[in-house]
Amino acid sequence: MKTQQFAICPRWVICVDADNRVLEHHAVIVDQDKITAIAPWPEAQDRYPGIAVIELPGQALMPGLVNAHTHHAMNLLRGYADDLPLMTWLSEHIWPAEGQHVDRQFVEDGTRLAIAESVRGGVTCFNDMYFFPDAVAEAAISMGVRASVGLIALDFPTIWAQDADDYLQKGQRLHQDLQHQSMITTMIAPHAPYTVSAGPLKKIAAMRDSLGIGVHIHVHETAFEVQQFMQQHGTRPLARLTELGLVDKHLAAVHMTQLTDAEIDQLADAGSHVLHCPESNLKLASGIAPVAKMLKAGINVAIGTDGAASNNDLDMIGEMRTAAFIGKNETQDAAALPAWQLLRMATVNGADALGIADQTGSIEAGKQADLITIDFNRLELQPVYNPVSHIVYSANRYDVSNVWVAGTRLLDNGSFTRYNESELIDSARQWGSRIEASKAHDAGAVE
């Protein structure tokens, strides 16, 4: 619930600011939706007499996690098709299932389920790419979370639009409709260079310039994708985006497991962002993104979960740990990707990639009060020497105890304050039964 002004008093405040400060026995003062001050607790008591106090001994307060790439409604396809390579998974299972089942209600219900799962795991903002982006926005607004809504684009018809022009026209209208929503932003979201051709991508570059928003797109996800694109077009996908004027500071490229050193330098020079999805890439055997190289080159790298159909969860704390372990192994350097770097990738780097780092991603006066706490008062988390490394290497999403978005408390000591969990579970089970029944029917028809 929102209190007009209150002080959160944990053991540690992990600011994730420019100096990566970790403060002990400080209070974070929240006034309505914003952080107004960070001060030692005795000083804060003097400055704010009578303020409502939330005491959290033994807990760490940090910025809310930013899931920089996901397909939230695909929570309803969690476990639908596993242990398959990407293109088989997509073309033979996911795309047919989407064609059969995805409608506005599917997106509404799946997105709500995903938001609740994400909030319980400490996510206060997500960047989505899926059909019915208007329904995604409505779900985020009604559930009180921050979201970047993808204005999806494809060459081929789907239930959302008939052709590339239809996608872009609907996207532009939705962008305008959402201008009054303070917690919702948009990005143009062409699926990938192999599903959106050069003509529409040119229009997307112009639309980006006209609206002043970013472009969120899957690029270089697998070696097969890059090879096939070269066979068909005589160039690499990233080179095609470069030709069309899309490689710049507004580009948020997802996956990027197949990069040359020259391409890394190009992305760094352009100021582009990379959205790293380590667990999805591992599960689909898509490849390993050269994250340490990208960070060293100066590229802003953020973390996303991808959708729960390919992960199979929305656990950003687990994603940080996986990213750390992959990065260390890939470079054969245990010092690569230290814990503080992973924490930045999961918070302020994500906010930067979405163009909202002035609002969220760190604990600083003037920013939105998007905050979470990690409860270290557990047997499995004793003792605590370094709270930052403890979050990345020891904690899990069930250690998230409290969540505030814009000063509103959505999770209170592990319990939702405004979501009906049983209704969300019932809805998901109904969808699961319906989808399973149609799957069985289709299998019988083939036999």
For 401-443, give the DSSP string.
EEEEETTEEEEETTEESS--HHHHHHHHHHHHHHHHHHHHHHH
d(CA 196, CA 237): 11
Query: Does the structure show a pLDDT above 90 at 443?
Result: no
Cβ atoms < 10 Å from Cβ of 409: 21
Q: Is the pLDDT of residue 314 over 80?
A: yes
pLDDT at 439: 76
The Cα-based distances of 191 to 36, 119, 129, 202, 314 in angstroms read: 39, 26, 8, 14, 20
Instruction: Give the mean pLDDT of 231-247.
Output: 98
pLDDT tens, position by position, 108-134: 999 999 999 999 999 999 999 999 999
pLDDT digits (tens, 9 = 90+) for 337-353: 999 999 999 999 999 99
- pLDDT band at residue 253 under the 50/70/90 scheme: very high
What pLDDT is recorded for position 4? 85
Closest CA to 395 of 7, 12, 2, 3: 12
User: pLDDT tens, 391-411?
Assistant: 999 999 999 999 999 999 999
- Nearest alpha carbon to residue 73 among 140, 158, 20, 25: 140
Write out pLDDT tens, residues 174-229: 999 999 999 999 999 999 999 999 999 999 999 999 999 999 999 999 999 999 99
Say yes or no to pLDDT of 446 above 80: no
Phi, psi of 392 (to 5 degrees): -75, -40
Look at residue 3 and tell me whether its pLDDT is greater than 60.
Answer: no
Q: Give start and end residues of each alpha helix (H) in 181-302.
A: 198-211, 223-233, 237-243, 261-270, 278-283, 291-297
Dihedral through CA 319, CA 20, CA 381, CA 117, nearest 10?
Answer: -40
Query: How much is the average pLDDT of 147-168?
Result: 97
pLDDT at position 87 is 87
Q: What is the pTM of this model?
A: 0.97
In order of their start, the domains of the chain are 5-63+367-416 (2.30.40.10), 65-353 (3.20.20.140)
Stretch 228-255: mean pLDDT: 98
Strand partners, 415: 412
The pLDDT of residue 447 is: 47
Residue the block writes with tokens 């695909």: 74
Provide DSSP, 101-130: H-SHHHHHHHHHHHHHHHHHTTEEEEEE--
Instruction: Please give the pLDDT value at position 442.
Output: 67
CB 184, CB 139: distance < 8 Å: no
Q: Mean pLDDT, to the nearest integer, of 286-301?
A: 98
What is the C-alpha to C-alpha distance for residues 172 and 71, in angstroms, rounded to an integer? 20
| DSSP calls for 282-328 | HHTT-----HHHHHHHT-EEEE----TTSSS---HHHHHHHHHHHHH
3-state secondary structure of 260: coil
The pLDDT, as a whole number, for residue 441 is 62
The fraction of the chain above a pLDDT of 70, given in percent, is: 98
**Closest among 306, 316, 253, 261 to 282, alpha carbons compared:** 306
The pLDDT-based confidence of 106 (bands split at 50, 70, 90) is very high
Q: Which residue in 36, 39, 52 sits closest to 364, CA to CA?
A: 36
Given the structure tokens 């299932």, which residue do they identify?
97
Q: What is the pLDDT of residue 85?
A: 87
What value does the mean pLDDT of the chain take?
96
Residue 35 has pLDDT above 50, yes or no: yes
Taking the C-alpha atoms of residue 45 and residue 8, their distance in angstroms, rounded to an integer, is 12
How many of the other CB atoms lie within 10 Å of CB of 23?
A: 18
Residue 265, pLDDT score:
98
Rounded mean pLDDT of 281-290?
Answer: 96
